Amino acid sequence: MKNKISHSILLLITVLLMGCNDDFLEKSPLGQYATDNFFTDAKGAEAGVNGAYSYLRHWDIVVWPYVMMGDISSDDTYFGNKNNKPGVEMDQFNFTPASFGGAVCDNWYTGNFVLIARANLVINSEPYFEFEESLQKRILAEARFIRGFAYFNLVKAFGGVPIITDVTPELDGEFLTRASEEETWAIAEEDLNYAIENLPEKSEYHESQLGKVTKGAAKAMLARAYLFRNDFANVEKYALEVINSGEYQLHPNYEEVFMLSGENGSGSVFEVQATRSDTGTKLGIDKYSTMQGSQGLGWGISSPTPEFEAAFEADDPRREHTIAYIGDILYDGQTEVKRNSPNHGTMWNQKALLPKYAFDPSVSIGGGGGGANNPVNVRIIRYSDVLLMAAEALNENGNPAQALIYLNMVRERARDGNPTILPDVTTTDKDALRTAIWHERRVELGLEQGRYWDILRQGRAEDLLHAQGITDYEAVKHRYFPIPQTEIDNTEGSIEQNPHY
């Protein structure tokens, strides 16, 4: 019997062959791979890694499942739109591997494997490279960062998944099977470490290369991976290396961080790049703002909860810069926030709302939040996140005094020069300081699609969600999301489902 692979892997190869411009990739007969399938010169290799970057903007990576899993599954937002069946299921944790909510997991699973496949096409071209070695290392490091990022996305959601490091993986049996969770973590760590060793610092790139992944981004991503595993020794190591690099500082204006003018600023560690195209080229984020927008701007999905609104301390300016209310005027000075309908919520993600007239006060960008032509970068890791990771790790590692320095740097920026609000935290009690740092993460990084992963690794998801009436959440069952049912069916069970589904 012929070797078979799951539909996702077939899709990946199809996407690769169809998604690459003929200028970059000459096709050989189906099933035949030769040197002309790979990149040899610098132009081709750059084009190949840009193909991986471009997929970061995709619906499957930083839009639908990203918002659903990171925010709607948490205590910070709920579905917001009663007609949004996947959002309702994700919010209530009553999805199945084959349901509407389960299809969100399918998007995340397949989308990240497409990222892996695009990165692999560059990585596997290394034997055929015929250009300057330092550039080879940088391009390979960019591709391996993206692959490591994708495996991190997969392992934290599903546990072990198939490990694919070749363009055409060799199969021992009929189907690819899942690697262990530890093996999957190992490939993510290996890729990110390679990126750390071979990427330039942010300041070493030419200004025309703004937005490429950097050494600091790789260290911060690895710190985040270790944070998810509560490996605080390594969190401290990599977060402090980012801090001590001198490459980053907090942008002085919290509100501006999330405007177009704040993109790739001093506190930007890793952003997915987007721009508006007047020619129809897909250079924008695919509906990240539209998904979360209010009437005239989007679909009203993922509304802040009252509990999240109440989490901000009195007069914390970040609340107004994070939550949009009915009647608010966005930063173009004329776009008004309106409720979609009685079936929708009454609060929205201010950080994701794109004004209609963001470029020209007389010309609407249309499409409600920009549609698939959304020019807003998605902020994946900000410097304040790195400071708070360092603070948490230092506290857990018995150094509360230094932890307070980084925690209070974040609070100082947030108070925006007003000494009467957000006083410095002074406690050195480990438990009390941990609570303060967790609080600061919630309000500083609110509605940036990281909350669920935080409360999951903190072991608090069940208590917090049950307090909101989400009683279908089970800590043991929902430690992992379900493997998509299509993967189980198309591999005849060789890809095994996570327990309790």
List, in sequence order, every residue forming a beta bridge with 77; answer none if it has no partner: 304
Alpha carbons within 13 angstroms on the beta-carbon side of residue 151 total 31
Residue type, 73: S
pLDDT at res. 1:
34
What distance in Å separates the CA atoms of residue 227 and residue 224, rounded to the nearest whole number? 5
Residues 39 and 184 both lie in one domain:
yes
Does some domain include residue 309? Answer: yes
Does some domain include residue 462? Answer: no
DSSP string computed for 79-91 = --BTT-HHHHHHH
Residues 186 and 299 both lie in one domain:
no
Does some domain include residue 117? Answer: yes
pLDDT at res. 172:
62
Does some domain include residue 221? Answer: no
What distance in Å separates the CA atoms of residue 225 and residue 233, rounded to the nearest whole number? 12
pTM: 0.93
How many structural domains comprise the chain? 2
Of 332, 360, 376, which residue is a domain's last?
A: 376
Residues 489 and 340 both lie in one domain:
no
Contact (Cβ atoms closer than 8 angstroms) between residue 111 and residue 61: yes
What distance in Å separates the CA atoms of residue 324 and residue 334, rounded to the nearest whole number? 14
User: Which CATH number do you get for residue 154?
Assistant: 1.25.40.890
What distance in Å separates the CA atoms of residue 297 and residue 155, rounded to the nearest whole number? 34
Residues 156 and 295 both lie in one domain:
no
Q: What is the 3-state secondary structure (H, E, C) of 421-457?
A: CCCCCCCCCHHHHHHHHHHHHHHHCCCCCCHHHHHHH
Of 376, 398, 422, which residue is a domain's last?
A: 376
Residues 292 and 195 both lie in one domain:
no
Neighbours of 112 (CB within 10 A): 26
Residues 339 and 190 both lie in one domain:
no
- Report CA-CA distances (Å) from 346 to 222, 258, 295: 37, 21, 11
Does some domain include residue 74? Answer: yes
- Report CA-CA distances (Å) from 169 to 10, 124, 164: 11, 11, 6
Does some domain include residue 135? Answer: yes
Residue type, 233: A
Enter the tokens of residue 105: 């997991």
Does some domain include residue 1? Answer: yes
pLDDT at res. 27:
30
Residue type, 155: V
pLDDT tens, residue order, the chain (501 aa): 334 445 455 444 444 444 444 333 333 333 333 445 689 999 999 999 999 999 999 999 999 999 999 999 999 999 999 999 999 999 999 999 999 999 999 999 999 999 999 999 999 999 999 999 999 999 999 999 999 999 999 999 999 999 999 987 666 667 889 999 999 999 999 999 999 999 999 999 999 999 999 999 999 999 999 999 999 999 999 999 999 999 999 999 999 999 999 999 999 999 999 998 877 667 899 999 999 999 989 999 999 999 999 999 999 999 999 999 999 999 889 899 999 999 999 999 999 999 988 777 777 776 567 888 889 999 999 999 999 999 999 999 999 999 999 999 999 999 999 999 999 999 999 999 999 999 999 999 999 999 999 999 999 999 999 999 999 999 999 999 999 999 999 999 999 999 999
Of 325, 355, 376, which residue is a domain's last?
A: 376
**354 lies in which domain range?**
288-376
Does some domain include residue 444? Answer: no
Residues 41 and 139 both lie in one domain:
yes
Residues 298 and 189 both lie in one domain:
no
Residues 349 and 489 both lie in one domain:
no
